[in-house]
Amino acid sequence: MANILHTTTELSNGIVMPKIGFGTWQTKPGSETYASISKALKVGYRFIDTAWSYRNEENVGDAIRDSGIKRKDLFIQTKLPGEIKTYDEVLRYFEHSLKNLSVEYVDAYLIHAPWPWSNPGENCDQQNREVWRAMEQIYRSGRAKSIGISNFSVHDIHNLLQDEQLTITPMINQIQYYVGYTQSEIADYSRKHGMRIEAYSPLATGRLLDNETITSLAEKYKVTTAQIALRYCVQNEVIPLPKARSMGHIINNSELDFEIQDSDMRLLDRMTDPSEKRGWHAGDHTFYDL
């Protein structure tokens, strides 16, 4: 079985992306982000995920530049803040992200949320259609090789798809996804319309690491609990975006060359997460204007 870092999949427009990415959510801007990205690139990760709201795009760009890796060999993804809901502002924030990252294009650009961080659940249907119109313009310019969404519900996705003036279907939907919380309705609807699912928080921000069922399976397969959780995503054709700071954890998260048996996958499918920490939390994102 090939190393997961060397395997790829295709988006609906033919763009090739790695089957695992390296996340930077909740990674502190500055030296912490720079160091973790530098280590990940050294290990072999080639898909880096960031966002304007993480405030670490510049550190990601610096680490990529200093790595010496050719731009064409990387898949760089960033996101538009959820607060931005006008055509002109979308274009302005996109330019700012390119400048932060010191790149001429990104491989994927996502709308980070269908609502402002300060008011999750707010109905922004009309504004999101306007935002997507700008996203289509960015895509046609060639400066974003693919475009997509994040934290979008079935309703939010349908809102874009039913507008006849919008002609490009999102290629990616990044959602919170992990063993016990797979948001199957959103994932199935996204797949039906040709989107690849990306999983942020694939380890449930660490809560899965002490789970008894996952620990038992880790012992059975002679791997770690993190590897079971990440392999579960991969076998469900979901692209996990684990984050880590230590070289040991970064390497461990990339060693997924084993197969979880069907019976054990069904066992994991039946798990549910009773935690109140499921879903998006306002405290996880803070918006700062340009």
Assess if residue 280 is contained within a domain: no
Using alpha carbons, list the distances in angstroms from residue 196 to 130, 211, 264, 287: 23, 28, 24, 27
Q: Is the pLDDT of residue 290 over 90?
A: no
Lowest mean pLDDT segment, chosen from 23-37, 76-90, 129-143, 268-282: 268-282
pLDDT of 274 reads 64
pLDDT range class, residue 273, cuts 50, 70, 90: confident
Assess if residue 53 is contained within a domain: yes
pLDDT digits (tens, 9 = 90+) for 114-140: 999 899 999 999 999 999 999 999 999
Our answer to whether residue 54 is catalytic in this structure is: yes
Assess if residue 281 is contained within a domain: no
CATH number of the domain where residue 81 is located: 3.20.20.100
Assess if residue 279 is contained within a domain: no
Per the DSSP assignment, residues forming a β-bridge with 76 are 48
Residue at 20: amino acid letter: I
Q: Is the pLDDT of residue 283 over 60?
A: no
pLDDT of 282 reads 45
Assess if residue 172 is contained within a domain: yes
- 271-283 average pLDDT score: 62
- 164-190 average pLDDT score: 97
Assess if residue 112 is contained within a domain: yes
Q: At what angle do helices 154-161 and 125-141 cross, to 10 degrees?
A: 60
Under 8 Å between Cβ of 131 and 92: no
Q: Is the pLDDT of residue 276 over 60?
A: no
Listed in sequence order, the residues at least 6 apart from 110 whose beta carbon sits closer than 8 Å to its beta carbon are 51, 77, 78, 79, 80, 147, 148, 149, 150, 172, 174
Q: What are phi and psi of 110, to 5 degrees?
A: -120, 150
Under 8 Å between Cβ of 237 and 19: no
Q: Which one of 34, 45, 54, 177 is the catalytic residue?
A: 54
Assess if residue 282 is contained within a domain: no
- CA dist 223 and 143 (Å) reads 40
Using alpha carbons, list the distances in angstroms from residue 232 to 33, 130, 236, 257, 261: 26, 36, 6, 12, 10
Assess if residue 129 is contained within a domain: yes
- CA dist 11 and 14 (Å) reads 5
Q: What are phi and psi of 52, to 5 degrees?
A: -55, -40
pLDDT digits (tens, 9 = 90+) for 68-114: 999 999 999 999 999 999 999 999 999 999 999 999 999 999 999 99
Report the half-sphere exposure of 88 (CA within 13 A, side-chain side): 0
Q: Into how many domains does the chain fold?
A: 1
Listed in sequence order, the residues at least 6 apart from 33 whose beta carbon sits closer than 8 Å to its beta carbon are 24, 27, 56, 59, 60, 63
198: domain range?
4-274
